[in-house]
Amino acid sequence: MIFQLFFALCRCFQEPKNCRRGNTSTSREPDFGGTENENFASSPATLTDYESLLKKNEETCKRYSFTSGWTKVRVLGEGGYGKVFLLRKKKTKIARKVVLSQPTECGFSSEEIIHIQMSHPNVLKLYCWEQKANILCFNLEYCSRGDIASHLVDLDEKDAKSYFKQLLDGVAYIHARGIVHRDLKPENLLLTKDKVLKISDFGLADFFIVNGREIRLTEKVGTESYMPPEVLQSHRKKYQGPPVDLWACGVIFFKLMTKRKPWSRADLDDKEYKMWARERKGLYKKDAWKDLNKASRTLLNLLLEPNPTQRISGWRSVCHH
């Protein structure tokens, strides 16, 4: 039995993609002791961590009895994947994401294993997950202001800058753990009642550091308008992890500041993107761009650099701008 478990864990670790689920692509804040995720988060997962991660997950779910005593208050969001509900037990609120998903061979997917390790003020907390037959539930920190996408219209510059700074902090933490998110966009950035930004949805995240070595990625995943050119062209060449998220941060920054997307696709068939890639001056005369000051344009030049090897990589340099 122990050997079977050991070999199953080995398989999951060496081939994390085998444990990816096919269909996950797409008041008072609860205090569950505060240390659950911190325990999970001591360092990026290693082979032997998986067993303890699974055990701790089970214990957390049991200890806080996520399965009983909660009242469904309302639906927070829904899509092809399933639904997100607001649940309440006395004064405590949590969000529960329910998706239809076959159990994987390992009993977990990279989404759960990646998300449960996270413990940072700007990353949404996953308290625990539960799989019953083909229903998968994520018990999550509740963010009463919902996602940033629904606040874009009335967003002022001060808030936009504060959210962008918090996004950078969260992304720096995720990257420091050898993980790339790959689906950063306003819909996946949630806000608490105190305007704290939380990065959510690790359904497309992956390890870019495996066994201490940086690996390149191949899958064309994410949301097209936030994808950098190297992901759109990933059928030709493998790509590095972190520059993908930095590009998405650039598109998000543009959207926070102008309420628009800079282009539909970072592809030379797209008129706006072609102007960006070839000759930026023409683009700067266009509506959304002309309102951006010099510092914002400089930052966008660094984040939206088409060549991923020349894209800004040091977080301190991004923050400096």
Catalytic residue among 49, 147, 169, 183: 183
Measured from the CB atom, is 140 or 172 closer to ligand AMP? 140
143 binds ligand AMP (CB under 6 A): yes
Closest residue (Cβ) to ligand AMP? 77
Measured from the CB atom, is 112 or 201 closer to ligand AMP? 201
Q: Are 313 and 246 in contact (CB under 8 A)?
A: yes
Residue 128 half-sphere exposure, CB side, CA atoms within 13 Å? 22
Measured from the CB atom, is 25 or 117 closer to ligand AMP? 25
> Which of 36, 147, 230, 245 forms a contact with ligand AMP (CB under 6 A)?
147
DSSP-assigned states of every residue in 53-82: HHHHHHHHHHHTTTTSS-EEEEEEEEETTE
Query: Tokens standing for 137?
Result: 């539930």
Least distance (Å) between residue 92 CB and ligand AMP:
14
Q: What secondary structure letter does DSSP report for 76? A: E
Q: What secondary structure letter does DSSP report for 170? A: H
- 116-135 residues in contact with ligand AMP (CB under 6 A) are 124
Query: Tokens standing for 245?
Result: 């998220």
Residue 208 half-sphere exposure, CB side, CA atoms within 13 Å? 23
Annotation marks residue 270 as catalytic: no
Least distance (Å) between residue 283 CB and ligand AMP:
30
Query: Tokens standing for 40?
Result: 């999970």
Q: Which residue has the tokens 């699974």?
A: 54
Q: Which of the stretches 106-114, 136-144, 288-296, 310-318 binds ligand AMP when contact is defined by CB under 6 A? A: 136-144
Q: What secondary structure letter does DSSP report for 102? A: P
x/- track of binding to ligand AMP for residues 97-116 (CB under 6 A): x-------------------
Residue 109, classed as helix, strand or coil, is: coil
Q: Are 126 and 136 in contact (CB under 8 A)?
A: no
Least distance (Å) between residue 28 CB and ligand AMP:
14
Written as one letter, the residue type at 271 is K
Measured from the CB atom, is 100 or 319 closer to ligand AMP? 100
> Which of 12, 54, 160, 190 forms a contact with ligand AMP (CB under 6 A)?
190
The rounded distance, in Å, linking the Cα atoms of 167 and 119 is 14
29 binds ligand AMP (CB under 6 A): no
Question: Which stretches of the chain bind ligand AMP, using CB under 6 A?
Answer: 76-77, 79, 81, 84, 95, 97, 124, 140-143, 146-147, 187-188, 190, 200-201
Catalytic residues: 183
